[in-house]
Structure 1
Amino acid sequence: MRKLLIFGFFMLSSVLMFAQRAGYWQQAVDYRMEIDVDEKNYQYQGKMDLKYTNNSNQALSKVYFHLYFNAFQPGSMMDHRLSNISDPDSRMTKNLGTKENPQYQSRIATLTEDQIGYQKIKSLRMNGQPTTYKIDGTLLEVLLPQAIAAGQTADFEMEWSAQVPEQIRRSGRNSSEGVAFSMAQWYPKMAHFDEFGWHLDEYVAREFIAPFGNFDVTIHLNKDYVIGGSGKLQNPNQVKGYVKKPKVSPVNGKATWHFKAENIHDFAWAADPNFVVDSARSNGGVTVYTVFLPTNKEVKENWKTALSLATEFFDYTSAHFGTYPWPTYSIVQGGDGGMEYGTATLVTGGRNLKSLVGVIFHEAAHSWYQHLFGINETVDEWFDEGFTSYVQALAFQALFEKREIPAPNPVISGYRAYYKLAMSGKEEPMSLLADYYNSNYAYSNEAYSKGQVLAEQLGYIIGKENLQKTFLQFYDIWKLKHPTPNDFKRVAEEVSGINLKWYFNLFIHTTRKIDYAISKVSDQEITLTNKSDFAMPIDLLVTYADGTKELFYIPLREMRGDKPVENFAVYQGVRRTVLEDWFWTKPTYTIRLNKKAVKVEIDPTQRLADVESADNSYTAQ
């Protein structure tokens, strides 16, 4: 018993040692906002009381806010990006040429004064004293009357006016599906400050990062509108949509909506007079709301089915990736595709059932990889989108396709997209900042596809069960914090006992490709060749002439450890032999045989991301 207690203490100490980066801290925000919406002119007046806690080890003489609506003005950086990237987003451009000879024009470039977006600061005080500030594109730089000392909380009071832009990207008015207001990135948002400094990315339609905090939001809007948004609605009995007859009469023709949310880092909402609201509760206690336009019978049926599956999704994902910590989640029709926000998503709703469920699962999965873990999407977009796509794929196969036995590689479609990218000549290092890819094609396939591959291939390296343990251990340590990819790597190393420096470095920071081949098979031996500059461990399944099988496992020297036996159907009843490790400096490896091989396969589970698999199998003629 004493030995068990000592071992348990050692394991707990080991977890605590790598639980957080040395000296880890994170800033905190507490927003209280009240806005008054002029729905006829698509404008609103806003008041904010923001408590900002400086948990860093330095005093701050400046702070910064993001003013995202300012991107939707002719001449903005987003406007110029659309005009100069090789494959601009079709939602944000017009093709003035032909399909063969496209000539893209930014939709932002043609916005008139009453169509643009803006956020104009009317006043800004800190602790009751006026501040000095300037606006530069989508950033507000604020020089403080006195520095915010380490450990101090400052109180900012702001008033601003805003105009909601035409729906072009994520936020806006009058979406293509007829939603009146899609309110994302709608408020002046405190910029993120961490050990790497201030994150001051101009908004050019990509990703976000922000500190965790609490939101208390009051919205005054025409009484005929229904709102779906982040957090928990505090007064459902006083507004349209949530009860048949609101108990309190509107003031000046407007209803008041009051939302609260804790420990989130973004708040979004959408509104339309024709929205309907439905809800259901998961077995784990999460109340899921759907807020959508019931345009026809099929749409209504699809949303009803999607709601039921969404409740199952939260139970499934909580079991496999860590418990969802908030009481509600709202799926709101709006925006221009799908985008995640704190405890809510905006998605386009006029989809077939498979597409609707797919986009809901993806955006809801962001509740883990982005919102539970405040990943810096502007820097590590693949950690956000790739891991989210991984979670989505597993849940979709289990709940929508109802597979009793999961596929050995559940994200094989992501692998195929990555192979196409890798051979296209357009691949760039996955560590590139999200805004800086030369093409949307490269960005999408790096972030969504190669990110999935990194996760699944990690399971190939450390073992499927160790990957599952890593996800749950990572949740326990890093929930509601701001982890980096290295933090995930460290958890995987501690769980598996395998060194992963080489893998994360080469797969993230380079465009090197994996390419192995079975170069020789004889009665006495098998020779494998690494044709690439990216070394990996090898699972080699050999079928002998007498019908028996043997799995040869060849670790890589850099791993400094072995993965455990994996429980795949293809390996059931197969003897596993662990061979001497392979050096990355040695291009070939020879396996001695005691009997004749008639079939040889490198990784039958297809988790090794080998860009040319034609030479990964051999069958005797």
Structure 2
Amino acid sequence: MRKLFTLATLILSSSILFAQRADYWQQAVDYKMDIDVDDKNYQYQGKMNLKYSNNSNQALHKVYFHLYFNAFQPGSMMDYRLSNISDPDPRMSNNLGTKESPKYQSRIASLTPEQIGYQKIKSLLMNGQPTTYKIDGTLLEVVLPQAIEAGQTADFDMEWSAQVPEQIRRSGRNSKEGVVLSMAQWYPKMAHFDEFGWHLDEYVAREFIAPFGNFDVTIHLNKDFVVGASGKLQNPQAVKGYMKKPQAMVKEGKATWNFKAENIHDFVWAADPKFVVDSAQSKGGVTIYTVFLPSSKEVKDNWKTALELATEFFDYTSAHFGAYPWSTYSVVQGGDGGMEYGTATLVTGGRNLKSLVGVIFHEAAHSWYQHLFGINETVDEWFDEGFTSYVQAQAFQQLFEKRDTLEPNSVLSGYRAYYKLALSGKEEPMSLLADYYNSNYAYSNEAYSKGQVLAEQLGYIIGKQNLQKTFLQFYDIWKLKHPTANDFKRVAEEVSGVNLKWYFNLFINTTRKIDYAISSVNDKEIVLSNKSDFAMPIDLLVEYADGSKELFYIPLREMRGEKPAENFEIYQGVKRTVLEDWFWTNPTYRIPLSKKAVKVVIDPTQRLADVESANNTYPQQ
């Protein structure tokens, strides 16, 4: 037994090493911030000490910070984007025309100096020496007094002033639901540097990439406010909301809040005098906090139920996608919809129960895809949003809808949205940078819907059990790192023994569509046709005149392997026959028959993303 265990361990270890990119490294940050808030004028003064560890193999002569609040100024790139995209986000624009003939105007364009957002740098030192810096839109470029050599850690000290913008996108003041401060993207954040270089994306409404690090954030704020934030509150006895009888430590009318978090890559907080706090603990030991406005009995009841379900969510997702590594998670009302951050989310809270649970499940699922795996959302938005939506759908069906078992395809709604997109003429390659889609419609359905389809259809190709194993092995290898989509592909290939280059390339980098058909059925053979330019393996369920059934599995030559038999209920007691490979260069495939077929179905599990399913059944329905 010892020899077998040792051999298995070596095989697993070599597999993990093989899946890990050679010479992988990642930068690290350690933030300590002190924030003094003027809630009357929606401004704050900030001090930051940042330790930045250069774990790369090269010296850095410059660094960059994101100043996201600067996007909320007339004339910004975000302002122009809203003015020129065909379907601007309605939260960020006003329609000056009619529903039939809309004429959109950016809400940013009309902001006054008292309403805009800004972050102004007052001083910036590195290792005690002055730096040279300039602000360019939402980016701060810093020329260093001396290079940060490979393996060195630099000490930055910064002071800045900021004004919180009107609530337009994610962060802001006085949301539609009445939350006074939604503090997302609120601090100068070190830009991400990796093997691909610096990621210097202007903020025009999409999402992010950042190095992992530790946060120690102290907030001085009007004593009447309650704060919900990333990380763990260090002084609950000194502030409102987290203890029944806090011994408030107030100085000049302000209470001091201190939150700490380790190994996250963004920090969010929100504050309002009317916030209430509730909490519960999952079976796995994660403390879930809800911080919300108790505006009605229905809202309070919904939040109470949502909290109970959230604890179940963290246990479910930890079991299926890898253990949640932090001790807390906070669901805080704020912002303009739902947006994930390190160990916390901002969500709008005046929702019905189904909607509230759905948005909490989605944003909490981002704790895996994108916060446990620091996915570059500006590059692989589908890997972030699509896989999150896949996790959300499975958890929602099991925990909210109380289904005993999932259907073979658990994201059919995502498939339907993808089909609509694919046939709309508006689809663009899913590899497009998130900011550059021609329409919000295309972005949303590529990232959320087609991303879900990629994950579920991957299970069709390699087998459902192999897909589940892939998720867990991917977690073991890549947790708290910055994987790419190719890294996920590599793990799936190692788990399944199937080559997946063709699938990821065509589904991500092109707008090619899948379309198979049953061309003819007679007493001697079944003829299948690939009517598209996207080849796939085929599951074909045949029912014979004598009542027996047979599942023909046709691998694709490019797979260089086969998926194992799957144990779906629909396949119970059905003979499975593996046929010769189908070449993508051959548009037809013939299956000889030994007895009369009365019914034939291509992929009865509905995981093959075939844009025209009417010809997938014989006789046609």
Tell me the equivalent position of 1:445.
445
Taking a change above 3 Å as real, the CA distance of residues 620 and 208 of structure 1, as seen in their structure-2 partners, is closer
In structure 1, stretches of 5+ residues that fail to align are none
For residues 593 and 620 of structure 1, the distance between their equivalents in structure 2, rounded to whole angstroms, comes to 20
1:599 and 1:620 in contact (8 A); partners too: no
1:598 and 1:620 in contact (8 A); partners too: no
Tell me the equivalent position of 1:228.
228
Task: Provide the secondary structure at the position in 2 that maps to 1:384.
Answer: helix
Tell me the equivalent position of 2:205.
205
Tell me the equivalent position of 2:297.
297
Task: Provide the secondary structure at the position in 1 that maps to 2:251.
Answer: coil
Tell me the equivalent position of 1:371.
371
1:434 is the counterpart of 2:434: yes
For residues 11 and 453 of structure 1, the distance between their equivalents in structure 2, rounded to whole angstroms, comes to 31
Tell me the equivalent position of 1:382.
382
Deviation string for 1:525-556 (max 9, x for gaps)? 00000000000000000000000000000000
Tell me the equivalent position of 1:284.
284
For residues 279 and 620 of structure 2, the distance between their equivalents in structure 1, rounded to whole angstroms, comes to 59
2:499 and 2:560 in contact (8 A); partners too: yes
Paired amino acid for 2:563:
K
Taking a change above 3 Å as real, the CA distance of residues 600 and 30 of structure 1, as seen in their structure-2 partners, is same
Tell me the equivalent position of 1:188.
188
For residues 96 and 156 of structure 2, the distance between their equivalents in structure 1, rounded to whole angstroms, comes to 46
For residues 565 and 77 of structure 1, the distance between their equivalents in structure 2, rounded to whole angstroms, comes to 52
Tell me the equivalent position of 1:616.
616
For residues 134 and 227 of structure 2, the distance between their equivalents in structure 1, rounded to whole angstroms, comes to 33
1:66 and 1:138 in contact (8 A); partners too: yes
Tell me the equivalent position of 1:23.
23
Alpha-carbon distance, 1:5 to partner = 4.9
Paired amino acid for 2:223:
K
Task: Provide the secondary structure at the position in 1 that maps to 2:250.
Answer: coil
Paired amino acid for 1:530:
N
Deviation string for 1:158-211 (max 9, x for gaps)? 000000000000000000000000000000000000000000000000010000
Alpha-carbon distance, 1:325 to partner = 0.2
Tell me the equivalent position of 1:406.
406
Task: Provide the secondary structure at the position in 2 that maps to 1:119.
Answer: strand
For residues 358 and 80 of structure 1, the distance between their equivalents in structure 2, rounded to whole angstroms, comes to 32
Taking a change above 3 Å as real, the CA distance of residues 620 and 427 of structure 1, as seen in their structure-2 partners, is closer
1:49 and 1:158 in contact (8 A); partners too: yes
1:568 is the counterpart of 2:568: yes
For residues 236 and 2 of structure 2, the distance between their equivalents in structure 1, rounded to whole angstroms, comes to 56
Paired amino acid for 2:264:
I
2:19 and 2:490 in contact (8 A); partners too: no
Paired amino acid for 2:124:
L
Task: Provide the secondary structure at the position in 2 that maps to 1:507.
Answer: helix
Deviation string for 1:422-471 (max 9, x for gaps)? 00000000000000000000000000000000000000000000000000
For residues 538 and 203 of structure 1, the distance between their equivalents in structure 2, rounded to whole angstroms, comes to 43
For residues 14 and 515 of structure 2, the distance between their equivalents in structure 1, rounded to whole angstroms, comes to 36
Tell me the equivalent position of 1:462.
462
Deviation string for 1:49-78 (max 9, x for gaps)? 000000000000000000000000000000
1:241 is the counterpart of 2:257: no
Task: Provide the secondary structure at the position in 1 that maps to 2:150.
Answer: coil
Tell me the equivalent position of 1:115.
115
Identity %: 85
In structure 2, stretches of 5+ residues that fail to align are none
Alpha-carbon distance, 1:8 to partner = 1.5
Tell me the equivalent position of 1:501.
501
Tell me the equivalent position of 1:64.
64
Deviation string for 1:505-539 (max 9, x for gaps)? 00000000000000010011000000000000000
Task: Provide the secondary structure at the position in 2 that maps to 1:415.
Answer: helix
For residues 409 and 108 of structure 1, the distance between their equivalents in structure 2, rounded to whole angstroms, comes to 42
Deviation string for 1:80-138 (max 9, x for gaps)? 00000000000000000111111100000000000000000000000000000000000
Paired amino acid for 1:226:
V
Taking a change above 3 Å as real, the CA distance of residues 620 and 594 of structure 1, as seen in their structure-2 partners, is farther
For residues 12 and 492 of structure 1, the distance between their equivalents in structure 2, rounded to whole angstroms, comes to 14
Task: Provide the secondary structure at the position in 2 that maps to 1:49.
Answer: strand
Task: Provide the secondary structure at the position in 2 that maps to 1:91.
Answer: coil
1:361 is the counterpart of 2:344: no
Tell me the equivalent position of 1:88.
88
Taking a change above 3 Å as real, the CA distance of residues 240 and 13 of structure 1, as seen in their structure-2 partners, is closer
Deviation string for 1:362-415 (max 9, x for gaps)? 000000000000000000000000000000000000000000021110000000
RMSD between aligned residues: 1.0
Tell me the equivalent position of 2:124.
124
Deviation string for 1:295-334 (max 9, x for gaps)? 0000000000000000000000000000000000000000
Alpha-carbon distance, 1:20 to partner = 1.6
Deviation string for 1:256-301 (max 9, x for gaps)? 0000000000000000000000000000000000000000000000
For residues 475 and 283 of structure 2, the distance between their equivalents in structure 1, rounded to whole angstroms, comes to 20
1:467-486 matches, within 5 Å, as: 467-486=467-486
For residues 543 and 12 of structure 2, the distance between their equivalents in structure 1, rounded to whole angstroms, comes to 44
Task: Provide the secondary structure at the position in 2 that maps to 1:610.
Answer: coil
Deviation string for 1:135-168 (max 9, x for gaps)? 0000000000000000000000000000000000
For residues 592 and 244 of structure 1, the distance between their equivalents in structure 2, rounded to whole angstroms, comes to 75
2:240 and 2:248 in contact (8 A); partners too: no
For this pair of structures, how many residues does the alignment match? 621
Task: Provide the secondary structure at the position in 2 that maps to 1:535.
Answer: coil
Task: Provide the secondary structure at the position in 1 that maps to 2:220.
Answer: strand
Paired amino acid for 2:42:
Y
Task: Provide the secondary structure at the position in 1 that maps to 2:91.
Answer: helix
1:223 and 1:254 in contact (8 A); partners too: yes
Tell me the equivalent position of 1:595.
595
Task: Provide the secondary structure at the position in 2 that maps to 1:18.
Answer: helix
For residues 450 and 144 of structure 1, the distance between their equivalents in structure 2, rounded to whole angstroms, comes to 43
For residues 493 and 592 of structure 2, the distance between their equivalents in structure 1, rounded to whole angstroms, comes to 31
Alpha-carbon distance, 1:13 to partner = 4.0
TM-score, normalising length: structure 2: 0.99
For residues 242 and 183 of structure 1, the distance between their equivalents in structure 2, rounded to whole angstroms, comes to 19
2:614 and 2:620 in contact (8 A); partners too: no
For residues 10 and 588 of structure 1, the distance between their equivalents in structure 2, rounded to whole angstroms, comes to 44
Task: Provide the secondary structure at the position in 2 that maps to 1:473.
Answer: helix
2:231 and 2:342 in contact (8 A); partners too: yes
Task: Provide the secondary structure at the position in 2 that maps to 1:4.
Answer: helix
Task: Provide the secondary structure at the position in 2 that maps to 1:90.
Answer: coil
For residues 376 and 242 of structure 2, the distance between their equivalents in structure 1, rounded to whole angstroms, comes to 35
1:101 is the counterpart of 2:101: yes
For residues 499 and 438 of structure 2, the distance between their equivalents in structure 1, rounded to whole angstroms, comes to 33
Alpha-carbon distance, 1:2 to partner = 7.7
Alpha-carbon distance, 1:248 to partner = 3.5
Paired amino acid for 1:470:
T
Alpha-carbon distance, 1:10 to partner = 4.5
